[in-house]
Amino acid sequence: MRIPYTGPLPPPIIIPRFANTLAGARHALTRFLAPTPYDRHHSAQSNDHRTVLLTGAGISVASGLADYRGTGGTYTLNKTYRPIYYNEFITNHEARKRYWARSFLGWTNLHKARPNTAHLAVRDLGKMGFVSNVITQNVDSFHSVAHPDLPTIELHGYLRELVCIHCHNQLLRSDFQRSLSALNPQWAAFLDQILTTGALDSENPAERRAKGLKSNPDGDVDVPDAPYTTFRYPACPTCLAQPPILVDGTKARVEMDKDGAWSPKSTAGVLKPAVVMFGESISSNVKTSAEEAIDGAARILIIGSSLATYSAWRLVKRAKERNMPIGILNLGGVRGEESFYAGISPSNNGELGTRCNESADRILPMLVNSLR
């Protein structure tokens, strides 16, 4: 995944003009998802109703998760924030300590968070036949939980499991959390303390900062000046039991310290979250599946994404090149949105494209009711 676009985003372009109110946005989105027979007759996509959704962090904010570029987003409030990069993670033991310590603190709240009304509305739209596929940039697994029968492509992976970078076996994140707790009793006591005091309960960034915490997307909790170098993490149990053969043909060495933590003397056995980190490539299978979902749909609706990552932006570009109607439901600006609506007819009422500046958890349930 390429480094995200961090330049200023343009203000949202409301299309059609009447979509500047909640009622107007609902009407425009209704026309977008369910064009009239006249609209379909004059559309390049004929009478095909299939819509693919592309979702981002904004759809999960109502579930209590942090986003990137919203009014309370990490990049908005913390200009110095930078996520860990793939090469840094796989080559730097100290970087992994820091990553897993912060993930250890953030996992409990992430694990107990649940899909919100927007995810459930997506489920209903799928059951009603208006949505054919979902492509999500999110790694929270909310879509697969909310609508297991609606095909979902997790473009950037998922946090519910880990994968070994050497043997490629996977491990449940919940099991890994218990191992981290056992290896780091002082950190576990600290986590119990902040959970007891409710320091992680508030999603208000100012309140969390007042309690000495910085929360970032994907279950990352930063405690300034924390002794991250003391944190320890386990080795891949598969590599530990049967060390793999390395690319040079030699057998890997996987060692633990006296307490069972991964030793830096090891040459394998490193576990990483099953997500696509910045600087890491999306697998060809996932990339192809996402492209096929675009090509097999009649229109695309972006929900809760500023399209700052190229992996998402290029899919919308692909849809534009195929002359597909494009809808955007997002609070705040979206990268390159002006180009997506260039040349759209002034008589458009939403069927040829729409841009709404509303929260998904508020308007999507209303949209479901309009389409019943």
211, amino acid identity: K
Residue 99: how many CB atoms within 10 A of its CB?
22
* Backbone region of residue 168 per phi and psi (left: phi > 0; alpha: psi in -120 to 50; beta: other values): left
- In the chain, where does DSSP find H-type helix? 22-33, 37-41, 74-77, 86-91, 93-112, 117-127, 142-146, 173-183, 185-197, 205-210, 237-241, 284-295, 310-321, 337-340, 360-371
Cα–Cα distance for residue pair 95/61, rounded to 1 Å: 28
**CA 312 to centroid of chain Cα atoms:** 11
Is the distance from CB of 163 to CB of 169 less than 8 angstroms?
yes
Instruction: Give 239-272 as a DSSP string.
Output: HHHSPPBPTTSPBP---B-TTSPBPTT-SS--EE
Cα–Cα distance for residue pair 214/264, rounded to 1 Å: 29
Residues in the chain: 372
Pairing of strands 131-136, 152-154: parallel
Cα–Cα distance for residue pair 281/219, rounded to 1 Å: 22
41 counts as catalytic: no
Cα–Cα distance for residue pair 34/298, rounded to 1 Å: 11
Cα–Cα distance for residue pair 269/279, rounded to 1 Å: 21
Pairing of strands 220-222, 271-275: unpaired
DSSP state of 128: T
| Catalytic residue selected from 27, 147, 156, 166 | 156
Cα–Cα distance for residue pair 211/353, rounded to 1 Å: 44
Catalytic residues: 156
